């Protein structure tokens, strides 16, 4: 049955018969009506400096629990300066398919618009990855990857067990081309997750990056709720039988 669903997911993605692409991206303000709870368990994988974390904490109640993951020391420093809330826990690591360590390709540079320069004085830290950049170098030539550092990696399943989690209501995933490694290390936790919102690219921006059809084939129990340019919202059909309608 899972193999059949996996094949259907791939076929639907290739044929483009999933929901049409919407403009923009998913708004965090939409989540209370989607999740139908004021006290969700949220995992923010690739939280950077806590900009979205701050929004999650504003719209949900005192009972929510948020676990944020970030490996870049520059972003970690700004996150800790920004977020001071007992509901949020920061784990300084990247989620991958092994509990260990790996090279992290540190991004740098200044976008053409220059609008980020004032509050990112240490350089552009939004594109770093445990995957080596590939087409990203051609598509965004201003973004440099001239440095690597060694960072800690964890499997999502290991963290899931250590935190004694049960149902995860929502995952916000931004792992810069390492989606398949993240999924490989989190099969049990993903089976217990209601919604996943993740980046994707149909170009190999980083070496080994999977495209959308390949991504969906790795998550046969999920189906597409909404697609955006470069992002997709997925629901776990075994945990969410019907998507709330506004």
pLDDT score, position 14: 47
pLDDT score, position 243: 78
Give a yes or no: residue 129 inside a domain. no
Backbone angles phi and psi of 47, in degrees to 5: -85, -10
Beta strand ranges found along the chain (DSSP E):
41-45, 65-69, 88-91, 94-96, 100-108, 144-155, 168-173, 193-199, 222-228, 231-236
What's the domain count of the chain?
A: 1
pLDDT score, position 21: 84
Give a yes or no: residue 228 inside a domain. yes
Domain assignment of residue 78, given as a range: 2-98+155-236
Give a yes or no: residue 150 inside a domain. no
Give a yes or no: residue 226 inside a domain. yes
Give a yes or no: residue 133 inside a domain. no
Give a yes or no: residue 20 inside a domain. yes
pTM: 0.90
**pLDDT per residue as tens, the chain (246 positions):** 455 455 555 555 444 446 788 888 899 999 999 999 999 999 999 999 999 999 999 999 999 999 999 999 999 999 999 999 999 999 999 999 999 999 999 999 888 765 655 567 788 999 999 999 999 999 999 999 999 999 999 999 999 999 999 999 999 999 999 999 999 999 999 999 999 999 999 999 999 999 999 999 999 999 999 999 999 999 999 999 887 765
pLDDT score, position 113: 66
- 87-92 contacts, C-beta under 8 A, 24 or more apart: 87/57, 87/62, 88/50, 88/53, 88/57, 89/65, 90/47, 91/67, 91/154, 91/159, 92/152
Say which CATH number the domain at 190 has. Answer: 3.40.50.150
């Amino acid at each position: 049955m899972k193999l059949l669903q996996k094949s259907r997911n791939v076929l639907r993605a290739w044929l483009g018969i999933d929901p049409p692409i919407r403009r923009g991206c998913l708004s965090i303000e939409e989540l209370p009506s989607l999740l139908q709870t004021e006290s969700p368990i949220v995992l923010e994988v690739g939280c950077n400096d806590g900009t979205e974390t701050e929004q999650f904490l504003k719209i949900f109640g005192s009972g929510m629990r948020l676990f944020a993951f970030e490996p870049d020391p520059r972003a970690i420093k700004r996150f800790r300066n920004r977020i001071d809330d007992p509901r949020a826990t920061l784990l300084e690591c990247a989620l991958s398919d092994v509990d260990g360590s790996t090279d992290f390709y540190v991004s740098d540079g200044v976008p053409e618009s220059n609008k980020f320069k004032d509050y990112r004085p240490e350089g552009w830290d939004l594109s770093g990855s445990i995957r080596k950049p590939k087409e990203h170098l051609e598509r965004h030539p201003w973004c440099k990857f001239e440095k690597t550092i060694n960072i800690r990696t964890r499997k999502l399943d290991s963290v899931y067990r250590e935190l004694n989690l049960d149902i995860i209501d929502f995952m916000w995933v931004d792992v810069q081309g390492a989606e398949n490694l993240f999924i490989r290390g989190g099969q049990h936790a993903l089976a217990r997750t209601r919604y996943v919102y993740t980046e994707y690219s149909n170009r190999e921006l980083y070496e080994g990056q999977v495209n959308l059809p390949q991504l969906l084939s790795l998550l046969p129990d999920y189906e597409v709720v909404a697609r955006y340019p470069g992002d997709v919202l997925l629901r776990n059909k075994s945990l969410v039988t019907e998507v709330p309608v506004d």
